[in-house]
């Protein structure tokens, strides 16, 4: 199975990951092995579904496939499609086609905010070795945000970041 990325016109937030884990790739659900990304979306108030529901892979797949884009106006895409256990297994050259694809998609679909999940993801996208967290220069009419990786460090930091992003989309969209 592969992950069907969610992107369309009218998105509030387009989340950008680096690549899927092998388990997420098999299930066809991003961030499904360690569901912290989904829990953070819930804890920040972006998804009203309970953590209990989000633990269920069948429910999560339905939510991702049917509601993520249409109901909540969120999208998700990866820069590299090849699954790996760690980002360190990826080669920079593998990001080149994904960078071009992502830039074209941002310019075409114009999401209000593009949220890069982790500094490594944004670093691969812009081709710079050192990047900062938070708001970045816009691309076309889309605001760009780099958040902490969901799996490392304090959840309250990520929740605060997601609330900040969501507040921006509520002001603009």
pLDDT in tens, 124-173: 999 998 899 999 999 999 999 999 988 777 889 999 999 999 998 877 65
Give the residue carrying structure tokens 């009203």.
Answer: 48
Contacts of 9 (CB under 8 A, 6+ apart): 109, 110
Q: Coil, helix or strand for 163? A: helix
Give me the pLDDT at residue 59, please. 94
Predicted pLDDT at 1: 56
Residue 162 belongs to some domain of the structure: yes
Q: Is residue 20 part of a domain?
A: yes
- Residue ranges making up the domain that contains 92: 13-172
pLDDT digits over 72-98, tens only?
999 999 998 887 888 778 788 888 998
Percent of the chain whose pLDDT exceeds 90: 64
- β-strand 142-147 against 134-139: which pairing, if any? antiparallel
Q: pLDDT tens digits for 115-124?
A: 999 999 999 9
What secondary structure, in 3-state letters, does 57-91 show? HHHHHHHHHHHCCCCCCEEEEECCCCCCCCHHHCC
Q: What is the CATH number of the domain that holds 67?
A: 3.40.470.10
Question: Is residue 137 situated within a structural domain?
Answer: yes
The secondary structure of the chain in percent helix, strand, coil, rounded to multiples of 5, reads 45, 15, 40
Number of domains within the chain = 1
d(CA 146, CA 140): 17
Output the average pLDDT for the chain.
90
What's the gap between Cα 104 and its chain centre?
17
């Amino acid at each position: 199975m592969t992950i069907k990325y969610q992107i369309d016109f009218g998105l509030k937030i387009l989340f950008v990951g680096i690549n899927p884990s092998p388990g997420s790739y098999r299930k066809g659900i991003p961030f499904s092995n360690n569901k912290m990304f989904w829990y953070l979306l819930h804890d920040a108030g972006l998804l009203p579904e309970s953590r209990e529901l989000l633990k269920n892979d069948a429910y999560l797949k339905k939510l991702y496939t049917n509601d993520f884009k249409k109901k909540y106006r969120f999208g998700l895409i990866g820069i590299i499609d090849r699954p790996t256990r760690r980002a360190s297994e990826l080669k920079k050259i593998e990001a080149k086609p994904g960078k071009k694809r992502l830039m074209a998609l941002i310019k075409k679909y114009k999401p209000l905010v593009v949220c890069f999940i982790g500094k490594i993801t944004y670093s691969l996208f812009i081709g710079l070795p050192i990047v900062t967290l938070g708001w970045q220069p816009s691309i076309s009419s889309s605001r760009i945000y780099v958040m902490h990786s969901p799996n490392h460090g304090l959840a309250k930091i990520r929740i605060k970041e997601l609330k900040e992003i969501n507040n921006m989309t509520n002001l603009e969209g």
